[in-house]
Chains A and B, each alone.
Chain A
């Protein structure tokens, strides 16, 4: 663990003659810059459009430098724009998405941790089968599950509710979280569990005192993965909810069909960026650990 921090990276660009070094650097940075531009350009254009008056967009087209700028469209998008008859902006749907994504992320991660703990450290007859069936969910296309879910939600009386979406996303997410956690816990030495059992610790105490403290790297991976996945998810939200109960992704789609027929490109652009901010924020906070957690089994 300790030697991770002070390792100096090998720098292949700093080898060879001066001329070769300069050429290599130019090529690498040039290519990286090009691709960064390709990915960043749409985001920049969308952002600029949030600042432009509508008639300017209509007149000059979508891709153009703003003549006059104003943050007015942001507040309109957030709190007063009319979508499908209600004029509360996207704030309501933003809250819906939070109410859906936060519990679903927490629940699916918690279940994944426990599943992974059991499947890696408390082996039982047929555990490989159970693991196989759980992870099958990773490979099933979501469309296939639409009808069964509609049936289940209907039976439970959870149609068109946020709780219904929490349930769907929790169950759908358990496949991934179990896969991640189980593979991570395989790297935790079995001797630790044996020592703890001799020390007198039971199933939950071992989980709480030994497994959980070792889990932050995989916890961050699953939380980022689940939160971005659930937040950005669109199909279940659109199919199982409508009107005021929709998550933000579905609500934004409903824009195009809203009201007067006139498209408020600047307000829409602001809403889209708002919808994209939470996953971006999560990734900026945890991204460093995300990559690390995916690539290493950091227990020794």
Chain B
């Protein structure tokens, strides 16, 4: 059981600063997901925690102990790579014992550990194969097995599922979750799949361009994103951003030809005449006929949307359309979906919308 603390961490490659002032801490047993678009510095941060990249400034502490200059092997961590990085010339068994061998653990002890982990991951029949003779999912399991045998303080995962096909990815996702529940080790998990982050993590760190945007529970991140980047990055289809102006004290006028008026969300403190961005998630629209707000006792306002295109996915139908001339994407139950090229009536859950500052992009 161990904690991780990262204070004012920076990393530069030459003149390029790829991590800017990262502050992050993980409690013992926590599952932290690092998400962000490609190139935002997730892998770099993970490598620094592992000790594979040097620290430019700031500090990394494991269990309160400063590890900035400690070699990877002394940090007692295990890492699962996106490429799995299985040693190609060694059998699965040798892959798993290599770490113990380097640490001089007795053969009998090694064998016991192998059996324990192989049983847990159901890879016992594969122990004598070479990595080249395994399927993608099996390699993934072996890579996790290699991390598990040493019983390290902390697990680091770098996009471990991104090379698997969609179905296997979902299977392995729940297996990782089960594993974490069983083993209870502190885990840092890099992904750019926001669903993985939402389903697995106890806390999510959203990064963009080397800056930590928000670090909070999945629920908080989803409901109260710190800024438009986080709001847009988490959630699929992505959140709608509608330009609006505050009028008549407590009303919002959507910009566009028709000038639709909406009441301002209750807790919002914004001055009259100010421009804002109204953020509404696609699923927070619902067809008026479904009367969701009445059934669930939600506070809502009606709005008319012109529907241009339908994208049925089976479970839900995605609607592309316009509200007050601005592009929107909404989702609804397939049987409640209107037809294309009609103007349909929807309601918006006003408790769930966000307001952002159009200049700083921060949530108001």
Contacts and interface: CB of A to CB of B under 8 A. Distances in A.
Interface of A: 1-2, 189, 191-192, 194-202, 205, 209-210, 213-214, 299-300
Contacts of A196: 87, 98
Contacts, number: 68
B337 interface: no
B81 interface: yes
B179 to A, nearest CB: 19
Contact of B132 (A1, A198, A213, A214): A1
Contacts of B85: 189, 191-192, 194-195
Interface string B108-127: 00000000000000000000
Nearest to A210: B87
B53 to A, nearest CB: 10
B88 A300 contact: yes
Given A189-B85, A201-B98, A210-B89, A195 B132 contact: no
Contact of A199 (B99, B132, B133): B99
Contact of B102 (A201, A213, A214): A201
Contacts of B99: 198-200
B342 to A, nearest CB: 53
Interface string B246-284: 000000000000000000000000000000000000000
B190 interface: no
Contacts of A299: 88
A189 B87 contact: no
A300 B85 CA distance: 10
A199 B98 contact: yes
B143 to A, nearest CB: 9
Given A191-B81, A209-B98, A197 B87 contact: no
B132 A2 contact: yes
A200 B88 contact: no
Interface stretch (B31-39, B72-80, B305-313): B72-80
B12 interface: no
A272 B49 CA distance: 64
Contacts of A192: 85, 87-88
9 tightest Cβ-Cβ pairs between the two chains A and B: A200-B102, A199-B99, A213-B89, A200-B73, A191-B85, A195-B85, A197-B72, A198-B72, A191-B81
Nearest to B81: A191
A194 B73 contact: no
B330 interface: no
Contacts of A213: 89-90
Interface residues of B, number: 26
B103 A198 contact: no
A210 B86 CA distance: 10
Residue picked from B51, B89, B132, most chain A C-beta under 10 Å:
B89
Nearest to A299: B88
B77 A198 contact: yes
Nearest to A195: B85
Interface in B80-102: 81-83, 85, 87-90, 98-99, 102
A199 B52 CA distance: 12
B132 A197 contact: no
Given A198-B52, A205-B102, A189 B83 contact: yes
A205 B98 CA distance: 10
A122 to B, nearest CB: 12
B228 interface: no
B98 A197 contact: no
Contacts of B71: 197
Contacts of A198: 50-52, 72-73, 77-79, 99
A189 B133 CA distance: 18
Contacts of B150: 199
27 contacts: A1-B132, A2-B133, A191-B82, A194-B47, A194-B72, A194-B81, A195-B79, A195-B81, A195-B87, A195-B146, A196-B98, A197-B71, A197-B72, A198-B52, A198-B72, A198-B73, A198-B99, A199-B98, A199-B99, A200-B102, A201-B102, A209-B98, A210-B87, A210-B89, A214-B88, A214-B89, A299-B88
Given A192-B85, A194-B85, A198-B73, 16 more contacts: A2-B132, A189-B85, A194-B52, A194-B72, A195-B87, A195-B146, A197-B51, A197-B52, A197-B72, A198-B50, A200-B72, A205-B102, A210-B87, A210-B89, A213-B89, A300-B132
Given A209-B98, A300-B88, A199 B73 contact: yes
Nearest to A213: B89
Contacts of A210: 87, 89
A117 to B, nearest CB: 15
A191 to B, nearest CB: 4
B261 to A, nearest CB: 56
Q: Which of A197, A205, A214 has the most CB of B within 10 A?
A: A197
Contacts of B50: 194, 198
Contacts of A191: 81-83, 85
A214 B130 CA distance: 13
A200 to B, nearest CB: 4
B39 to A, nearest CB: 18
Contacts of A194: 47, 50, 52, 72, 79, 81, 85
B73 A197 contact: yes
A191 B87 CA distance: 10
A57 B51 CA distance: 75
